[in-house]
Every structure is written in C-alpha cells, then in structure tokens.
Amino acid sequence: MELFFLYLLIAFVPCILLSLLILIYKRKSSPILNLPPGSTGWPIVGETLDFISAWKGGCLEKFVLDRMIKYSPECFKTSILGQPMAFLCGPSGNKLIFSNENKLVMHWFPDSIKKILPSDLGNSNDQNDIALKISRKLVPQLLRPEALQRYIGIMDDITQTHFASQWEDKDEILVFPLAKKYTFWLACRIFLSVEDPDLAARLDLFHHVAAGLISIPINFPGTLFNKAIKAMKILRKEFIEIIRQRRLDLAMQKATPTQDILSQILTLVDDNQQHLISGSDDLVADAIIGLLIAGFDGVNSCITFTSKYLAESPYIYDLVYREQMEIAKSKTPGELL
C-alpha cells in the first residue's frame, strides 16, 4: 500500500509542476495590459474555493464587497472556475454592461458550463445572436397577462396538491428537499407540461448537473464535474425524445404553440417568419435543461431561506401567518389563492 502511494505521488508531482510551468509561460508570453487591481489567487484553482464557499453560505455579496474594499469600489480582477475575469461594480459598471450588450461586451460561459452544455446557446457568435433573438421574442410572450393568468392557475393547483401531500399534518419537515421537489415539479409542468409529480429520479440528475455547472472543470471519476457530464448525457437523450415528439404533436395539431415554454421555443419565428430554431434538437434540449435548472434552483433557494428566516423570527412569522390567513378566508371555495 505504501509503495502504491509512493508511485501515485511520483506521478502526481510532475503533473503539478507541468501545470505551473505552463501557467508561468502563459503569463510571461501574454502582452502587458492595463488590468484592474485584484488577485487571481492560486494557480489553476484561482479564487474558486472562496467564491463557492461564499455562495453556499448564502453570502455571495461578501466575496464581492471584501474585494471592493481591498482593491477598488469600481472593478477588480479575479479567477474563478479556471477563468480570469473582472467584476464591474456600482452604477457605472452596470451602465457599461447593459448599454453595450453585444458591442463592447457579450455574455460568456466558463469552461465547466461549455463542456456540460456543449450545444448550449452562447458557445459561438451565431448561437449568441440566436440566444439574444430568442430572449427578446420569448420574454414578452411569457409576461403577457393571459400567459401569467394561465401559469398562476397551474402554480396554484400544484402548490395546493404539494402542501396537502407533503407539508400538512407533519410534526417536523425538512424544507430544502421538499422545496426542491415542489419547484422542480412546477418547472417541469410549466416548461414541458409534465404532469407526473413523482420526479425524484430526474431531480437527482438535475441536482448533479446544477452542482457541476459551478465547479472546477476536472473530468475525473467522482468529481462534481464528472457526475454532471454523466447526468447530462442521460437527460439530453430523454429530452431529445420529448422534443421530437413535441415537434410531431405540433405538426399534427395535437399540441398548441402556447401550451408551454417548450412549444413556444419550437414555434418562435423571426421578423421574416422563419423559425429561430428549426433543426437542432441537441441545442433545444440543452437550452431547456438550462432553463429548468435556472427555473427551479433559484426559487428553491428563495423558499428555503424565507422559511429559515421566518422560523428564526417568530414575530415576523406571526404577522405573515395572520396576513395569509386573512387572504385565504376572503376567498370563495375553489377560488385561486
């Protein structure tokens, strides 16, 4: 056993030294630029561990504020997920970014996301243009009063069903796993018209993908990144089948263009009435999976932290409870909450 670890150490050390030499060579060969103040942290890893630690602790703003105080309140450089980057802070930074979209700046993904979602919108300039067009076309449709009214009915029905089966008459509950199940079910219903509430197996796969997106891109068995790639292959295969079936249903008028977000994406047209996404099922699958992760992961965290803070503040909890009970009493039987 000791001999095995000795061989492992002998094989590991040259890899580290080679990585350091490559990093030093790149830094020396790169042109001298007027970069913002800051630190790129450790070689290869950068400041990823500090960033993830702050993110998991629910105080991501501390990561930014500490560096604003230490380096500059306007901008600072760092390195996260193996990529050098700059943080632009304050009103001037926001104005620069949002007034120069696809001019001076364009949206970009770290290597971990590109490798997990290889055909995701945004991995090339052409796909970047498609992503922008889809965003501009899709968002107004989702925010129409009739669309919001339809989604509210779905959300109310799923919420009442979920609370009746998972929360009521329980002496003790674990909010985080229940919130994940609820928000994932809700996202699948709105995005894909999936009615099955038993989605535990798929939820585990999505959890692996979501965890791997914000991880160091080392594809080694057992790492978060490796688990995410394996889970993504399974999900992509299943979603491509769903997309192909939906295309057939739309062609045969068994599904409507406004049925859910998947149908709306597949039927989006540009100003010349040409479909924005006509043939790439892989691209649509990766886009939908990315939207699902964003759709349930953020809401799940919000519900969990809200429950946590209400449990820690009995006075605020009592005020919120009384307010919600008054609203519930004002509703007639069968009326949406």
Residue 179 to residue 247: CA distance in whole angstroms: 32
Q: Tokens standing for 185?
A: 């079910």
The letter for the amino acid at 164 is A
Residue 337 to residue 159: CA distance in whole angstroms: 10
Of 4-8, 207-211, 239-243, 332-336, where does mean pLDDT reach its minimum? 4-8
Of 146-155, 305-314, 322-331, where does mean pLDDT reach its minimum? 146-155
Q: What pLDDT is attached to residue 6?
A: 45
Phi-psi region of 170 (alpha: psi -120 to 50; beta: other; left: phi over 0): beta
* Contact present, 310 and 302 (Cβ < 8 Å): no
Residue range 146-162: mean pLDDT, rounded: 84
The proportion of the chain whose per-residue pLDDT surpasses 70, expressed as a percent, equals 80
List strand residue ranges (DSSP E) for 15-163, in order.
Answer: 75-80, 83-88
The mean pLDDT of the chain is 79
Q: What pLDDT is attached to residue 5?
A: 44
Q: What pLDDT is attached to residue 279?
A: 63
Q: What is the dihedral of CA 29, 102, 285, 283, to 10 degrees?
A: -70
Q: Hey, what CATH topology would domain 125-329 get? A: Cytochrome p450 (1.10.630)
- The count of other CB atoms within 10 Å of the CB of residue 329 is 7
Q: What pLDDT is attached to residue 122?
A: 46
Residue range 60-89: mean pLDDT, rounded: 90
Say yes or no to pLDDT of 323 above 70. Answer: yes
Higher pLDDT, 208 or 20: 208
Higher pLDDT, 21 or 204: 204
Residue 247 to residue 239: CA distance in whole angstroms: 12
pLDDT tens figures, 1-22: 555 444 444 555 555 555 555 5
What letter would DSSP give residue 335? -
- The count of other CB atoms within 10 Å of the CB of residue 226 is 17
Of 124-128, 159-163, 262-266, where does mean pLDDT reach its minimum? 124-128
User: What are residue 76's DSSP bridge partners?
Assistant: 87
At 38, the pLDDT band (50, 70, 90 cuts) reads very high
Higher pLDDT, 201 or 122: 201
Domain boundaries, the chain: 34-105, 125-329
Residue 202 to residue 297: CA distance in whole angstroms: 14
pLDDT tens figures, 249-299: 988 988 888 888 888 888 877 667 666 666 678 878 887 888 888 777 778
**Residues whose CB is less than 8 angstroms from the CB of residue 254 and which lie 6 or more positions away in sequence, other chains included:** 248
Of 33-37, 72-76, 120-124, 217-221, where does mean pLDDT reach its minimum? 120-124
Residue 12 to residue 6: CA distance in whole angstroms: 10
